[in-house]
Amino acid sequence: MIKTIKIQSTTRNICEVELFLSQIFKELQFSRKIYCKIYLSTIEAVNNAILHGNNNVPTKNVDISFNNLKTKFSVIIKDEGNGFDYYNVSDPTKPLNLKKESGRGIFIMKQYADKVTFNESGNCVNLLFNK
């Protein structure tokens, strides 16, 4: 089962993603713990796609797809931006970065998803969650 949604790049559209995830949760009835992990990671990824990938340009879109695999759930978030070098992301737990107001999105995704991978250009992230 694959479900998809496309939103314009404004943070007010995050509520559409929340509704999308809520509907999937009701349909599949997976555990609340897995739902929370999926929810937090996905919202962070979508927020990053809107703000950093698409630079909050409403004419650019973010595509989100949810796939119910045999042993995992996969959420893929893709923006229309130029991507980024995901190998050179600052560690938000280092003392120098602790007081920064941003820079924790990927860290949060990695804490909740069982696996986080980016495409070559860095404008698409795949979040995997074990069932």
Tokens of 1: 């089962």
Q: Say what the pLDDT of residue 75 is.
A: 98
SS3 content of the chain, % helix, strand, coil (to 5): 40, 25, 35
Question: Does position 6 have pLDDT exceeding 80, yes or no?
Answer: yes
Q: Say what the pLDDT of residue 92 is.
A: 72
| Tens-digit pLDDT profile for residues 49-66 | 999 999 999 999 999 999
Angstrom distance (rounded) from CA 85 to CA 99: 23
| Tens-digit pLDDT profile for residues 93-110 | 777 767 777 778 899 999
Calculate the alpha carbon distances from 56 to 8, 29, 61, 70, 128 in Å: 9, 33, 10, 35, 26
Over range 82-86, report the average pLDDT: 86
Question: Does position 2 have pLDDT exceeding 80, yes or no?
Answer: yes
* Mean pLDDT over the full length of the chain: 93
Q: Is 50 helix (H, G, I), strand (E, B) or coil?
A: helix
| Tens-digit pLDDT profile for residues 33-53 | 999 999 999 999 999 999 999
